[in-house]
Homo-oligomer: A and B are copies of this chain.
Amino acid sequence: DSLTQAQFDTVYNSLSLVIASQLFTAIFLILALPRVLPRYRQAMVIAAVVCGIAAYHYFRIFDSFKGAFVTDAVGGRGTYTQAEGVSFNEGYRYVDWLLTVPLLLVELIAVLALARRVQASLLRKLIPAATLMIVLGYPGEISSTDGARVLWGVLSTIPFLFILYVLFVELTRSLDRQPVAVRALISRLRILLLASWLVYPLAYALPVLGISGADAWVLKQGGYSLADIAAKAVYALIIYRIARLKSYEDD
């Protein structure tokens, strides 16, 4: 496939936007650490690490993209075609998710500072489910047949639904001891999580739905970029607000 100048620029600038957002959210969280009580710093540190890991992977994705699409037009104003011998590596995303998706869930549980026993029981469900979800999705992503994509996609959706069940049903039961303002923030956080996480299975399903070509590809990269900013950076800023609010209430 080849990209027009405008398509190339859109992907290029979206990827760069993600790098800047993740990197500086991570730095902001580290600088803001002393502003929350020690018991909420675990959540903030994990949030910073997640954004840092994302920034690293986006640096790589950016380079991979720049290498994979080239033009010989003067001033770069022309059509970009796929380079010889260099591939755009979509796999970076799965490596990123394998590390960050379980951490995003740990971050959420940590900021609530629930009873130790409740925390441990939630994490024993969420972490293996998140890992399983990513590991089962990967063979589908790299397969070239629709059949395999559907099969692995369905298998990966089982732990995905289980995670949503734990977050929206089981977790809700543990929230009555949280201050009212915190409960409102947590419900906003879960809606953000749901809306942004749904982008990934949708993007995965595009080829099966027969949506392909340069436009679809650009849309997919843009969608991933916005979803990654929402699911990690904006998510982290809400975690920070919860931590601030709870620090204030506890004081």
Contact = CB atoms under 8 A, between A and B. Distances in A.
Interface of A: 5-6, 9, 12-13, 16-17, 19-21, 23-24, 27-28, 30-33, 35, 38, 41-42, 45-46, 48-49, 52-53, 56-57, 60, 68, 70-77, 82-89, 91-92, 94-96, 98-99, 142
Given A35-B38, A68-B75, A99-B20, A28 B49 contact: yes
> Chain A interface mostly helix, strand, loop or mixed?
helix
B31 A45 contact: yes
A16 B95 contact: yes
Given A5-B87, A35-B38, 13 more contacts: A9-B87, A13-B91, A20-B53, A20-B57, A21-B99, A24-B49, A24-B56, A28-B49, A31-B49, A35-B42, A74-B83, A75-B86, A75-B87
Contacts of A5: 87
B70 A74 contact: no
